[in-house]
Chains A and B, each alone.
Chain A
Amino acid sequence: MTSQDVHFYQVGSFAVGNRLLEQEERTVQAQVDRTNSIDSGHRACQGCGEALGARYALDAAMRATNGQIVAVNATGCLEVFSTPYPETSWRIPWLHSLFGNAPAVATGVAAALRAKGIEDVRVVAQAGDGGTVDIGFGCLSGMFERNDDVLFICYDNEGYMNTGVQRSAATPPAARTATTKAVGAEPGNTFGQGKDLPRIAMAHNIPYVATATVADLHDLERKVERAMEFHGARYLHVLVPCPLGWGSASNETIHIARLAKESGLFPVFEAEDGVVRSVSPIRRRVPVEEYLKLQRRFAHLFGPHPRLDVIARIQSMADANIERYGLVSPESLEESS
């Protein structure tokens, strides 16, 4: 009989921690002494994906730099719910200036540290999708082009949530927002290119670009640590479901992020010097309906008169991602067709 080496730990590598793993193999989030960069008491909604994503990313950055980071925050939910004057939920050095200038402020912080000869302190800038793909886009492109030594993290919840759920350039087609009502022949947001910021970042040929979701902690932490091994401009795009803006149950946040990845709608990959180096393959493929139907912003696609045509267009977007990034192995593609 053949015997096998036991590298299998009941919950595999998918759970946050595992008592059977060596300490150093567990996630940062499994550690009792993790930084908790953003503390309890913040005013984010129940089940906020962004609060979770920010703690995941910054705690990992803290471990990667031995606690030597400065965070620069754009205006947005994350800033508003964490720092109502005079309180702060941040347990790390943290700056906020304006909505559109976070990349420029971060560049300035990095320059100041360099001027003072401080080499071990690293700079992380963070913003929501509004501050990244719309309002801060010019500053960000400049930061990329100059290759400033900043890790910029976008927490993408696909809209302007704290001002009342308006559309951003990251809002997906057909989604209902306050400014894209679910009315007319083409309800919700229009179909179009949107702004695919990870690919735009790659086009700047910066050292490191990656995407991640709050559903795969191991992957997210590994990418933050990898990003910290580089100097120069780096970009991490994290999908963070928003129960308020997406109309999803507060307990579904991680589940929905997982479905976004497993349906192919949100490709998870990493790129170095403008070239995709690895992708997270789909483990249990689902049709896009599984993802859409949990969100009230897509409710107009279902019900007694379902818009199968619109769902089919969204499915073709997922299929295109799967093909572009090779998210499914060729054999299983044949099985499913």
Chain B
Amino acid sequence: MKLPFAISLDIGSGRANHTGSWRVERPVYVDRLPPCNNACPAGENIQGWLYDAESGDYEAAWRKLVEENPLPGIMGRVCFHPCESACNRVQVDEAVGINAVERFLGDLALEKGWTLPKPGPDTGKRILVVGAGPAGLSATYHLRRLGHRVRLVDSASHLGGMMRYGIPAYRLPRAVLDAEIARIVAMGVDIQLDHVVHDVEQERHDGKFDAVFLAVGAQLGKRVDIPAGDSSRVIDAVKFLHQVADEDPPLLGRRVVIYGGGDTAFDTARTARRLGATDAVIVYRRNRERMGASGEEFEQALGEGVTVRWLSTIRKFDGDRILLEKMKLNGEGFPEPTGEFEELDADSLVLAVGQDTDLSLLDHAHDVTVRDGSVEVLDSMMASPSGIFAGGDAIPAQRTATVAVGHGKRAAHGIDNFVMGSDSVPKVRNRLASFEQLNTWYYADAPRTERPELERIRRQTNFEEVVGGLSEDNALFEARRCMSCGNCFECDNCFGVCPDNAVIKLGGNMRYEFDYDFCKGCGICVKECPCGAIEMVPERN
């Protein structure tokens, strides 16, 4: 080769110099568990479906959602959204409105008629599911996807369990409930309504079922001993809400007193207002900090004219007058009587002091352990080695629809392992994505979008839905507020900020990889990654 004057060597590229040898620590891409996913009782991949929703691909988002939970329209209304309490965005401005986006996706799916995944290839196994509430429906859905045949029985005349007979229509419109249930039924389910299972072993034997899932709920309203005159109108909240759902509401009069401080008490009070009660007064032994009801439900109830007597207990009801005793909380937070009394006018008293499960169907299932009115289960939801599984309100757990949906899924997989004779593969969970790992500089400031609430005057007299949905624009905006904690969303920061061009962009949802020949290990990519999806690890040699 002819070289220019005074040049004695060929021109070489700096790439001959593998600066990767300087490195003592190397960056690696990781996926961390977003706190929303971690908090979701139904095990949804929330960050995952928000990622799809952000790009406007709502069908992909919905499909990712229903991988875990077939009832997004219902969840988007009744879930108490622990995901939002866990959301890291709380520390930037406000939590992402996950629940509102879930509802938007759920409603859109119903509008567009998207169908659930097809049932799996038939395994020939037959499963009995007792109870068609959220746990039973969720189990049915996942069992069908695994290819098992399901018979779903319920003592009521409609499917839905407590979602129909416990949650009032102004919180969960029946059209949404019916449509999401119908989608599961359309997967091919043998349904038996108005059927009470008296003996689970007999039922299983008669039907030759390979396994049973018990999701009977907690249908019995607890009673407390209150001296009441013969003419006094006392009813328990479970029965009351059930009768309202059957469109046969009992007459409660104009002044209704509700005893209890959970969601059921507030549902009862708000329903009573809608049925014409002028006064709906909740009497609760403890204070506001200790009530079981969700803050949202509480605020909505107050907005509808429900009043609350905190730190009060009912001593006597004589037909039109209730005797209250004032309470105080002791050092351990338990209410104690004070000896001070008050009177309250009342036409009727509704007891919302908790619910029990009727487990008489297990009387002959001797290998099932029942303790304190609940069925003991393993992690797989197995209650007996013979193949009885249980979930929902029948086992010791938080009693919410979302928890029950999670139980149904877990039980379906437990049942699948049981009937197929396979071992359960423990799911590897990623390490939690903490707020400290985020670089929030890169997220635009964006306060959250609140869902519209029905004007108060309108919701005092009818059962129209109180909380409205988000428009598409707002749902998209809300989805884009997700910070994608711990999971790369391809913002190109690592690719851009490397002083050594040692990040290779793969493109097309394939993310990036490091070129360790040249990466000097400076760590800028880790520091500038918005979502904490890169970490430094020591070099071994």
Contacts and interface: CB of A to CB of B under 8 A. Distances in A.
Interface in A19-73: 19-20, 26-27, 29-30, 32, 36, 39-44, 46-49, 51-52, 55
B497 A10 contact: no
A6 B477 contact: yes
B229 interface: no
Contact of B480 (A9, A32, A40, A249): A9
A10 B480 contact: yes
B267 interface: no
B491 A18 contact: yes
A75 B199 CA distance: 91
A165 to B, nearest CB: 18
Interface string A1-14: 10111101111111
Given A5-B473, A88-B12, A42 B524 contact: no
B501 A55 contact: yes
B14 A41 contact: yes
A258 to B, nearest CB: 7
Contacts, number: 177
B491 A48 contact: no
B420 interface: no
A319 interface: no
A114 interface: no
A16 B471 contact: no
Interface stretch (B133-141, B369-377, B438-446): B438-446
A12 B444 contact: yes
B85 interface: no
A272 to B, nearest CB: 28
Contacts of B190: none
Nearest to B496: A16
Given A17-B496, A52-B497, A39 B527 contact: no
Contact of B11 (A11, A36, A88): A88
A217 to B, nearest CB: 6
A254 B527 contact: yes
B299 interface: no
B476 interface: yes
Nearest to B505: A32
B521 to A, nearest CB: 6
B474 interface: yes
B22 interface: yes
B13 A89 contact: yes
Interface in B487-508: 489-493, 495-502, 505, 507
Interface stretch (A79-87, A138-146, A147-155): A79-87
A252 B527 contact: yes
Contacts of B15: 39-41, 89
Contacts of B14: 39-43, 82-83, 87-89
A313 interface: no
Contacts of A52: 497-499
Given A87-B16, A253-B524, A20 B55 contact: yes
A255 interface: yes
Contact of A48 (B13, B480, B499): B499
Contacts of A51: 499-500
B468 interface: yes
Contacts of B18: 41
A250 B524 contact: yes
Given A3-B471, A87-B14, A87-B16, A251 B444 contact: no
Contact of B522 (A41, A46, A86): A46
A5 B520 CA distance: 43
User: Which of B19, B444, B501 lies at the interface centre, i.e. has the most chain A CB atoms within 10 A of its CB?
Assistant: B501
Contacts of B173: none
Contacts of A9: 444, 480
B444 A27 contact: no
B528 A254 contact: yes
Contacts of B11: 86-88
Nearest to A30: B492
Contacts of A111: none
Contacts of A87: 11-14, 16-17
Nearest to B476: A6
A46 B22 contact: yes
Contacts of A16: 491-493, 495-497
Contact of A4 (B473, B492, B515, B520): B473
A200 interface: no
30 contacts: A1-B474, A11-B443, A11-B530, A12-B444, A12-B445, A13-B444, A14-B441, A17-B493, A18-B492, A19-B55, A19-B489, A40-B501, A40-B517, A41-B16, A46-B22, A47-B524, A55-B499, A87-B12, A87-B13, A87-B14, A87-B17, A89-B14, A217-B496, A249-B523, A250-B524, A251-B524, A252-B527, A253-B499, A253-B524, A254-B528
Q: What are the nearest 4 A-B pairs in CB distance?
A: A12-B444, A17-B492, A16-B496, A251-B523
